[in-house]
Amino acid sequence: MLGFAGCDGIGLVEYGTPHADYTVKGSVVNKATGKAVEGIRIGYSPVSTVMPMYGVIPTYYATKSHVLSNAKGEFILTDRFHAGEYQYEAGKTLIPVFVEDIDGEANGLFQPEYLTIDFSKAEQSGKRKSWYEGEFTVTVNVGLTEVEDHTDE
């Protein structure tokens, strides 16, 4: 009577958004010496904390997830991102990554680095299913600049 009788054959109703696992792996070294640096935090940050809003300066400490580099300076950082949690620009999926020295002087003092990882040419694995688009992996090697000691005596 109201015309709803013909709506039974619409098909499977799915709720959600496209999502995928994004992995950044690599190593952290002292830029000057090439020596591996242990105890460096490598973290994803949601785009919302990186994009300045209302004059608020983004903070490096608002990570979505993070890992620490091991004794060889190696790390593997993986997290799942949904559409809207990363920046999509000119056909590229871009995700901000922060690299920070958080252990004080234990392994030397290093300046933080801010990276924008481009996943458009990433190695893709994992089987696509429904909204899940698989896993995308990028390898990066990060060279950190050591902070020189400027203490006054």
pLDDT digits (tens, 9 = 90+) for 55-109: 554 555 556 789 999 999 999 999 988 877 777 788 888 888 999 998 878 888 9
The C-alpha torsion from 30 through 36 and 37 to 43, rounded to 10°, is 100
- For the segment 25-40, the average pLDDT, to the nearest whole number, is 95
Q: Which residue did the predictor score with more confidence, 48 or 106?
A: 106
Confidence of residue 3 (pLDDT cuts 50, 70, 90): low
pLDDT of 153 over the 70 cut: no
Average pLDDT over residues 32-41: 94
Matching CATH number, 27-144, of 1.20.120, 1.20.272, 2.60.40, 3.30.530: 2.60.40
Task: List Cβ neighbours of 37 (8 Å cut-off, separation of 6 or more).
Answer: 28, 29, 30, 69, 73, 101, 107, 108, 110, 144
Q: Is the pLDDT at 31 greater than 90, yes or no?
A: yes
50 confidence band (pLDDT: 50, 70, 90): very low
